[in-house]
Chain A
């Protein structure tokens, strides 16, 4: 397992080459290097995966990172079941996105093109570091790294002020969450003196339940920032300002899955803090349903997908919250496939439409873009949870686990699933069916994208269709859940703890019934949306009532603006105008004026009058005499 360090090192090298020589490399070379290093990482990750599968999990310590008297932190990588799965997702999907980018970004300048690939490689590098780290400190380095890269890439077209604002928003919201994460790590270091996963989980009994609850809640604050959960989710839809492959990378393979990974990694801590788990589940389901409602009324093709990501992440957190850690990881994986597929498909559409993102101006693209259309449809079925597409298995596992915990969670979850099916097929129908609603020029321009775009789409579509088969639930096939078997060692300790207050597992009949309800409901929503929006006609009618509220995203941005941004700006203005201008400036200028004035007065003493000088001398002497005479005791 000594080759593990190569996995993050290669993208870093790619970043350095593309970054340093961006002016001299040709586009072909940049694309080859950028994608090549990721492909190499993917191959090494595959090797690591098979090693792990053969039972060789390992912690590889590279060098001493921090060493003070009481605190030792190694720069160590941990390769086990959980991280190897994530490695495959990140490098595999990441590689496809790189290949796709070579074509998608081809119109950029040579220099910008190289810069873009350098950032992309750095992004993958950070995420790999996050996943590979064997302690929370290394994870935090990657954690910050992806934050930085998201800032760089969302603001890639930095000449547009709105885009840079979106980048800043993502950066700042992530910082808020990172504070929670950092505090949790400090807390762990203070209590246990180590951040190594192994040591922390082995010594978890040394912490009191209150401390565990506090630490896990703070970690979860970090996760809400990175994984776009309530209340820190609003940056993710705005992050659509970046190039579409970047959105795919952020949403599918990196960054937003970091929170899920972190909680899955800390599953033992979380299992010991049931209170936190409830919070996670409630936040998860609330985010899922809130984002799904917003997605219903969005008209920007990427915005719909963005809200659907927020919503799907909500499902993952619901899974974590109800203790279905495998389900959550499973959903991360299937979601990576179909969300990358959907985003890249949307990118292909945008490409064909010459930059148009408004679905009201699309329609009828089915005829022009065969591969994009077919793969996109597969992605829609997968995310809507239609069997046997991949999303069905993972979402169903989470919903079944939620039902075990509380039927209320399940009901809300199913409603969310129906909404998902509805808005996804609204998106599909508005884009691909019906009549073309764009300009004449756009219609003339419509074409299928080149191979560098369609081949990744096809690969992802295959994965989105069959990816779920590694997690066939017990109810269909005994021993069909290969992923659960594989991940079992990671969650073994949690399983034991959960077994202490075990409720009886669902009967097969109940499980079939639950599936029937969710699939049936989703199917109805799907058909309704398909038929309704195939006949979509562009109208200038303003949304009214609830529709308007939804189209405006529940006015959450405005709310944040009113209760956080505006007061802060007001305080800033007050401090600037009153405290700074009259208070601090007054003091500073006052000191200057006082010195100026007194020196002008003292200058007058220097008259050149010899008599005056001598008089002063005599007075001085007299004073010295008097002091000497009367104050002898003092000196």
Chain B
């Protein structure tokens, strides 16, 4: 399959993620949009890795899978981040009964 297809898909996912983050006010939705952006990046990593290094697989097995290993790293880090973020949001909801990010700007005082 042509690499351009992957790029188009990833760009579409990333853009949807950005627009989601920018326009939505619900903290959970924003979180999900961030996940979308991360996964768009993951998709690109896998696609480019496959494109550049697949034919080297039989000589350098590790080289071919480098970028794909990074993807797992990103997933792990994202999971950790989400657990922290969700914990914050839960605490926030308990105190304010809202997950509206615009409501949170009163924290600055």
Binding site for B on A (CB under 8 A): 606-611, 614-615, 618
- Sample of 7 A–B contacts (CB below 8 Å): A608-B104, A608-B107, A609-B102, A610-B104, A611-B22, A611-B101, A614-B21
**Leading 8 A-B pairs by shortest Cβ distance:** A608-B105, A608-B108, A610-B101, A614-B21, A609-B105, A615-B22, A614-B22, A618-B18
Nearest-CB distance from A142 to chain B (Å)? 73
Contacts of B104 in A (CB 8 A): 608, 610
Q: Output the least CB separation between B103 and chain A (Å).
A: 10
B106 close to chain A: CB less than 8 A: yes
Tell me the dominant secondary structure on chain B's binding face: helix
> B residues within 8 A CB of A611?
22, 25, 101-102
- Cα A607 to Cα B25 in complex, Å, equals 16
C-alpha gap A456/B40 in the complex (Å):
111
Q: Would you list which residues of chain B between 12 and 44 have a CB under 8 Å from chain A?
A: 18, 21-22, 25, 30
In the complex, what residues of B have CB within 8 A of residue A608's CB? Answer: 104-108
B residues bordering A, Cβ < 8 Å? 18, 21-22, 25, 30, 101-102, 104-108
- A615 CA to B107 CA in the complex, in Å? 20
Give Cα distance in the complex from A607 to B102, angstroms.
10
Q: How far is the CA of A618 from the CA of B19 in the complex (A)?
A: 10
- Complex CA–CA separation, A614 to B17 (angstroms): 12
Residues on B with beta carbons closer than 8 Å to the beta carbon of A609 = 102, 105
Closest B residue, CB atoms, query A609: B105
Bound-state CA distance A49–B30 (Å) is: 105
What residues on B are CB-neighbors of A607 within 8 Å? 105, 108
Smallest beta-carbon distance B88→chain A, Å: 12
Cβ contacts under 8 Å, B107 to chain A: 608
How far, in angstroms, from A610 to B25 measured CA to CA in the complex? 9
Known: A608-B107, A610-B101. 17 other contacts (CB 8 A): A606-B108, A607-B105, A607-B108, A608-B104, A608-B105, A608-B108, A609-B102, A610-B30, A610-B104, A610-B105, A611-B22, A611-B101, A611-B102, A614-B22, A615-B22, A618-B18, A618-B22
A contact residues around B30 at 8 Å (CB): 610
Set of chain A residues within 8 Å of B108, measured between Cβ atoms: 606-608
Q: Which residues of B contact A610 (CB under 8 A)?
A: 30, 101-102, 104-105
Least CB distance from B43 to A in Å reads 18
Residue on B nearest A608 in the bound complex, by CB: B105
A618 and B17 CA atoms in complex are apart in Å by 12
Cα A634 to Cα B30 in complex, Å, equals 37
Contacts of A618 in B (CB 8 A): 18, 22
Q: Give the chain B neighbours of A606 by CB distance below 8 A.
A: 108
Nearest CB to that of B106 among chain A residues?
A608
Question: Shortest Cβ distance from B28 into chain A, in angstroms?
Answer: 13
Q: Closest A residue to B101 by CB, please name it.
A: A610
**In the bound complex, what is the Cα–Cα distance between A134 and B51 (angstroms)?**
93
- Complex formed: what's the CA distance from A615 to B20 in Å? 11
**Closest residue of chain A to B18, judged by CB?**
A618
